[in-house]
Amino acid sequence: MAAQASIAVGSQVWVEDPDEAWIDGEVLKVNGDTITVKCSNEKTVTAKASHVHAKDPEESPCGVDDMTKLAYLHEPGVLQNLKSRYDMNEIYTYTGSILIAVNPFRRLPHLYDIQMMEQYKGADFGELSPHPFAVADVAYRLMLNEGISQSILVSGESGAGKTESTKMIMRYLAYMGGKAATEGRTVEKQVLQSNPVLEAFGNAKTVRNNNSSRFGKFVEIQFDQKGRISGAAVRTYLLERSRVCQISESERNYHCFYMICAGSPEEREKYKLGDPSTFHYLNQSNCYKIDGLDESKEYLETRKAMDIIGISSEEQEAIFRIVAAILHLGNVEFAEGDDVDSSKPKNEKSMFHLRTAAELFMYVLCIASF
């Protein structure tokens, strides 16, 4: 990183802009700590020197794949480089050993297929275009060569793409550490299939993201001395439990609630479920569907994933009974009871949902004012 150049009349600079964050321009006048800039949008701006940064007049319109190559590694320089690459559909950029991902908000399957994994297998870091597979490969090689555990931290704001990036890294590690194609439940298959289960019960639609993780997770993948996956563990924390009872407009509750409402007619009858709009925990928002998402298909995929990771049919049944019972509990309203400080179900509708919840929880319900 080069030192910040002195700013003089005629210098190319970036200046803070309330609408565009930063805008480029040419310095017209320098008066002590105040700088006047003629911007590219034809506006003339006067700003403090601390709000003006030098611009590299020779910067490439295509940006650079590693931002340590930038002449000026400051905020406007970084943002412009990321924008230049994003405009070329390059969503990944390095800063040294750090990989920055910009969410494309669309599927890019060609970036993550088997052929792409083969390309990054054993390639030197930085030899190929920036990619999560490169980060995963470096960690995998260091673990094998040095015999030391490695960690990959995936961080970012909501909607940045943490969930998808984590899945890509896990896919690559499962690819590298998997055994030859065999039948049955291999450990690497179980590792990958833990994702749809975690997403069903821990992810929800927010205003920024259709599949936002509302919890944190630490995924530990264990390898033997030959680099083969031998085990795994997933630890979750900070689950946003308040979302179950209260959601905001344009958001949804956890995916599992909508999935079970989209189950087969037999299952909906068994759990006494209907349209999501009939449940209080789901109808606080007018958002019930996600474009391009088939809830009934996702429900079946989640069931299949639960089979693969070793959750028995009996355990699955118990889990979805609880999910359905929670929806019914949300529809129970209470009124004042006959005694002081007592209450009772408000009407027959509330009584129905209370009885159904009790049946699903396998409780014997004794109705009285309480």
pTM (2 d.p.): 0.84
- Contacts of 265-273 with C-beta under 8 Å, sequence gap 24+, read 267/320, 271/320, 271/321, 271/324, 271/360, 272/324, 272/328, 272/356, 273/324, 273/327
Does residue 286 belong to any structural domain of this protein? Answer: no
Does residue 56 belong to any structural domain of this protein? Answer: yes
Does residue 83 belong to any structural domain of this protein? Answer: yes
In this predicted structure, what is the pLDDT of residue 94? Answer: 98
What residue type is 110 in one-letter code? H
- Contacts of 219-226 with C-beta under 8 Å, sequence gap 24+, read 219/166, 219/170, 219/194, 221/170, 221/173, 221/177, 221/191, 223/143, 223/144, 223/177
Asked if 39 and 7 count as a contact pair (C-beta separation under 8 A), the reply is: no
Does residue 69 belong to any structural domain of this protein? Answer: yes
In this predicted structure, what is the pLDDT of residue 182? Answer: 52
In this predicted structure, what is the pLDDT of residue 341? Answer: 81
- Enter the tokens of residue 347: 């009407």
Does residue 12 belong to any structural domain of this protein? Answer: yes
| Binding-site entries for ATP | 156-163
In this predicted structure, what is the pLDDT of residue 77? Answer: 95
Query: Collapsing DSSP states into helix, strand and coil, what is residue 343?
Result: strand
Helices marked H in the chain: 75-86, 114-120, 132-146, 162-177, 187-202, 242-245, 255-261, 265-271, 280-283, 295-308, 313-330, 348-361
In this predicted structure, what is the pLDDT of residue 5? Answer: 60
| Binding-site entries | 156-163
Does residue 78 belong to any structural domain of this protein? Answer: yes
- Residue 71's domain comprises 1-88
Does residue 160 belong to any structural domain of this protein? Answer: no
Q: Chunked in runs of 10, what are the mean pLDDT values of the chain (370 residues)?
A: 68 92 94 93 92 93 95 94 95 96 90 96 96 98 96 91 93 87 69 93 93 92 93 90 94 98 96 97 96 95 95 96 97 88 90 95 61
Beta bridge partners of 268: none
Q: Structurally, how many domains does the chain consist of?
A: 1
Does residue 351 belong to any structural domain of this protein? Answer: no
> Which CATH number does the domain housing residue 35 bear?
2.30.30.140
Orientation of helix 295-308 relative to helix 187-202, angle to 10°: 140
Alpha carbon distance 145, 169 (integer Å): 19
Asked if 185 and 306 count as a contact pair (C-beta separation under 8 A), the reply is: no
In this predicted structure, what is the pLDDT of residue 3? Answer: 40
